[in-house]
Structure 1
Amino acid sequence: MNKYNAYIFDFDYTLADSSKGIIMCFRYVLENHGYHDVSDHQIKLTIGKTLEESFSILTSITDKETLTSYTKEYVKKADDWMTANTVLFPETLSVLNTLKERGAKIGIVSTKYRYRIMEFVDKEFSKGFFDIIIGAEDVTAHKPDPAGLVLAINSLQSDLEKCLYIGDSIIDAKTAQAIGVDFYGALNGITTREELLVYPYVKISDNLSDLI
């Protein structure tokens, strides 16, 4: 893993577990609109997608105006609940610190809003720890479209051969595959090893520890 000069991470289920906050926010909105039978597992399966996509999957609604309205309700609740209900995975800090000590650049590319990630990052990390953070509001096309990853690689002045993208989901694997960036799969979420084996990868591991 030492051939890379830039390590770009997904956020949810890769660096941190925010599933508790995500479930709380989705459940609030869904039950507010009469969707009482959606399970926690169904909600978890949408983590990594945009909020509009997730609500569409969970409710079968396709009307953009309605999905936008649900998303706004979610965001309002997330302002109160998300950061307090997000925790780093046990190995995250030590792995990231080791990579930085080796001189690597560290970034995040996520479908989560950047300001939400920053709220959490500012609580857990020293100022300026991450060299770049790309969130949902920074691109018009979201993963598995590689626009955010391309933006991050260019901002870090890296290139495709020297960058490793680390994520937990099929969406992340497809994002790396779209531009030929090496992919490391971390099984911190609910995506299985077998599901990730379908896509190009350099490593699939139980967590981030094998990065170092």
Structure 2
Amino acid sequence: MSYITYLFDFDYTLADSSRGIVLCFRNVLTLNGYTEVTDEQIKRTIGKTLEESFSLLTGVTDACRLADFKAAYVKEADTHMTVNTFLFPETEAVLTALKASGARIGIISTKYRYRIRELLDRYFPEGFIDIIVGGEDVKAAKPSPEGLLFAIGQLHADKASTLYIGDSTVDAETAQAAGVDFAGITHGVTTREELAAYPHLLISDTLEELPGLPLYRLPSPPPFCGKRD
């Protein structure tokens, strides 16, 4: 199948923000007396909404209290998130290769759009990413297909030539609900076996195996040891 539109999840697909996410959750949870939650438990909630994540981690279901947790998390993230988020080694080269081939590129995430842009602006020129749909842009979070279908509509894309790439079963469910092909990436904590339970084009441990890329492996970018302008 030939794809001309590639839509990506963000966390654990294009970037590793787990250090920042764990830190922000840890600070909020500790402040509220939840000291027994493990890092692994926090990481397993990545990709869910903040309300869902805090409910799973604390057992709290009261909407007002969950809203307070969310507000505290966002305040922590304003300080700690971007500086503790890093693109995976192949991300920059893969997105650049796709863009050079004429493909359209988008991101659909539960993360706030402005925070995604804050990181990507360090690596890509303005307008490089064709569309970013953040958590604030939809009424229903993934696995609802709302965000994915919105991006497809805005890009005037065809479902048959659109591939959605993500790392979690939530992403797989989102692609299935939207009626588009799915590629699973095992950058995160979701296993290959968990992803394989859903319809998929491929499951890989690297973005370099996405269809439409050259058959050879893309060169890894040189190590970065300083501040990007």
The equivalent of 1:19 in structure 2 is 18
Q: Counterparts of 1:45-60 in structure 2 under 5 Å?
A: 45-60=44-59
**5+ residue gaps in structure 1?**
none
1:17-69 residue CA offsets vs partner (Å, 9 max, x unmatched) = 00000000000000000000000000000000000000000000000000000
Q: Counterparts of 1:16-165 in structure 2 under 5 Å?
A: 16-165=15-164
C-alpha distance in structure 2 between counterparts of 1:201 and 1:185, whole Å? 7
Q: CA deviation at 1:165?
A: 0.1
Amino acid at match of 1:40: D
Q: Counterparts of 1:185-200 in structure 2 under 5 Å?
A: 185-200=184-199
Q: CA deviation at 1:207?
A: 1.4
Q: CA deviation at 1:179?
A: 1.9
SS at match of 1:183: strand
1:100-159 residue CA offsets vs partner (Å, 9 max, x unmatched) = 111000000000011111111112211111000000000010000000000001111101
- Name the TM-score, length of structure 1 as normaliser: 0.98
Are 2:166 and 1:177 aligned? no
Amino acid at match of 2:29: L
SS at match of 1:123: coil
**5+ residue gaps in structure 2?**
214-229
Counting matched residue pairs gives 211
Please provide the CA RMSD for this pair.
0.7
Amino acid at match of 1:33: N
> Percent identity over the alignment?
61
- Name the TM-score, length of structure 2 as normaliser: 0.91
Higher helix share: 1
SS at match of 2:152: helix
C-alpha distance in structure 1 between counterparts of 2:14 and 2:178, whole Å? 22
After TM superposition, the runs of 4+ consecutive aligned structure 1 residues lying more than 2 A away are: none
C-alpha distance in structure 2 between counterparts of 1:103 and 1:179, whole Å? 23
